[in-house]
Amino acid sequence: MVGDDPRRFIPSTAALLAHPRVRSAALSQHVIDQTIHRAQERARRGELPPGQVEAEVLARLDSARPSSMRPVINATGVVVHTNLGRAPLSAAARDAIVDASGYVDVEMDLETGRRSRRGASARSALLAACPPAEDALIVNNGAAALALACAALVGRGIVVISRGELVEIGAGFRLPELIESAGAQLLEVGTTNRTHITDYARALGRIPEGTPACVLKVHPSNYRISGFTAGATVAELSELSKHHGLPLVADIGSGLLTHEPALPEEPDLSTTLSDGADLVIASGDKLLGGPQAGLLLGSSAVISQLSAHPMARAMRTDKLTLAAMEATLNGGRTPVSDALHADPEELRRRTEGMAESLDARTVPHDGRVGGGGAPEFPLPGWAVQLPQAAASLLRRHEPPVLARTHDKTCLIDLRCVPPGDDPTVLEAARWALEELSSARGSDA
Ligand SMILES: *Cc1c(COP(=O)(O)O)cnc(C)c1O
């Protein structure tokens, strides 16, 4: 190294660590060390003047956040958007999570000072919201709930299921594979498009006496078979299962508590139980609008059998989830319900206002339920239409705005945008359009 090599002036690690702003950074030591090391490396490679290393380190530490997950604005029109974390929580649920994040009486009766049943209040809230259920159990997600139901009710026995319900739900999540991985064997009945109650009756007649078994009905979620189709109802299956002394399990997917007139064909927990299912399974973070959870509701006998299974402990719900679930159930309307019931006239007024400010077009646009709920069911509304290239710019805005790209256009749908965020979306769209026009200007 020659004497006047500028790399001699790169500040040492010890000097940088001693800087008061580095010492007071609310970040782990390994994050700070890595930040310092990277800035020094850039200076050694000649990418950064040695005199700027300290400023670079301070700037990086200022902008570093302990968690990198960023809040985004959902302007896609898809209410339960899997890639955006499914259900956004209500204010009540968010507050409950903050309250539960310290020490909390999740398993303690403050009257007696004794240990209490974990999550008893979330369970009570669920039972109050779904009167036909005798008992309930909450686990980590819908897939866990289904695996537990199969393991606890049939073990290595038989799960009877229609061929039309052997579905793949998310990327790589195949329901039949989950059931088999829990140890059970599938007994497939009917055909892809048509399964009759007589198909189930024949199958149940073939199960050897004493073999543990259940009948499983699954909401096909992400797809729909139309045309020449047939299926058995929960009421029909309940009568048949009872006759054979076997439990009927229904995985309804989305977790509506009661019938939702806006989604006339979507199953709900209360109706499915009233129609005779012994156990109903649903997710907490789809149409229920709560935190990620697997809900199991049904008869006392079935729920006790599930709670007693060792696997139930491996799927035990976190205190934050229990707090958010109870608050979702007791705390009034949820953002999911608001988005589902958004008034089309109000959406039109907001959309036209934004389009006018941007000198853009307002076009009719159907939102979707998403998350496997009510597949293909349109939620009529409106969108601001921008050039397709605006979409990637909107994603890079702070906060990022996620729009829908369709037919070589970028569509901003305000259904899932809280009205208070409209000015932010407008500002992002304006910025994106300016970037596009200045890019065009420099091309010319
Ligand atoms: C979404 C869904 C599941 C899986 O639930 P997760 O909460 O995502 O684990 C299972 N069954 C059906 C029918 C679903 O729609």
Matching residue, tokens 């709920």: 373
What is the percent of the chain where pLDDT is above 70? 99
pLDDT at 171 (0 to 100): 75
Q: Which pLDDT belongs to residue 222? A: 76
Is 365 a pocket residue for ligand 1 (Cβ < 6 Å)?
no
Quick check: do 73-81+338-443 and 90-331 share a fold?
no
CA of 339 from ligand 1 middle (Å) equals: 21
Provide the residue ranges of all domains of the chain, joining segments of one domain with +: 2-63, 73-81+338-443, 90-331
pLDDT recorded at residue 426: 98
Nearest one of 107, 135, 121 to 302, comparing CA atoms: 135
- CATH class for domain 73-81+338-443? alpha beta
Helix segments in 64-213, DSSP class H: 91-100, 120-129, 142-153, 175-181, 197-206
Report, as ranges of residue numbers, the positions in the chain whose pLDDT lies below 70: 1-3, 443-444
Distance 313 CA to ligand 1 centre (A): 20
Looking at ligand 1, which residue's alpha carbon is closest to its atom 11?
Answer: 253
Alpha helices in 232-318 (DSSP H): 234-243, 269-274, 300-307, 310-314
Q: Going by CA atoms, what residue is nearest to atom 2 of ligand 1?
A: 253
Q: Atom 14, ligand 1: which residue's CA is nearest?
A: 253
Residue nearest to atom 6 of ligand 1 (CA): 142
Q: Does the beta carbon of 216 sit less than 6 angstroms from any atom of ligand 1? A: no
CA distance 286 to 87: 6
**Residue 372 CB–ligand 1 contact under 6 Å:** yes
51-54-56 Cα angle (round to 5): 100
Per-residue confidence (pLDDT) for residue 444, from 0 to 100: 56
Q: Is 331 in the pocket of ligand 1 (CB under 6 A)?
A: no
Per-residue pLDDT of 17-44, as tens digits, reads 999 999 999 999 999 999 999 999 999 9
SS3 of residue 40 by DSSP: helix
What pLDDT shows up at residue 3?
61
Task: Quickly list H helices, 210-309.
Answer: 234-243, 269-274, 300-307
Does the CB atom of residue 321 touch ligand 1 within 6 A? no
The residue whose CA is least distant from atom 13 of ligand 1 is: 253
Mutate to test the pocket of ligand 1, among 168, 221, 279 (most ligand atoms within 8 A of CB): 221
The verdict on the CB of residue 221 being under 6 Å from ligand 1 is yes
Asked whether 157 lines ligand 1 (CB < 6 A), one says: no
**Residue 237 phi, psi (nearest 5):** -65, -35
Cα(265) to ligand 1 centroid in Å equals 17
Whether the CB of 319 sits within 6 Å of ligand 1: no
Given the candidates 3.90.1150.10, 3.40.640.10, 3.40.50.970, 3.40.309.10, the CATH classification of the domain at 90-331 is: 3.40.640.10
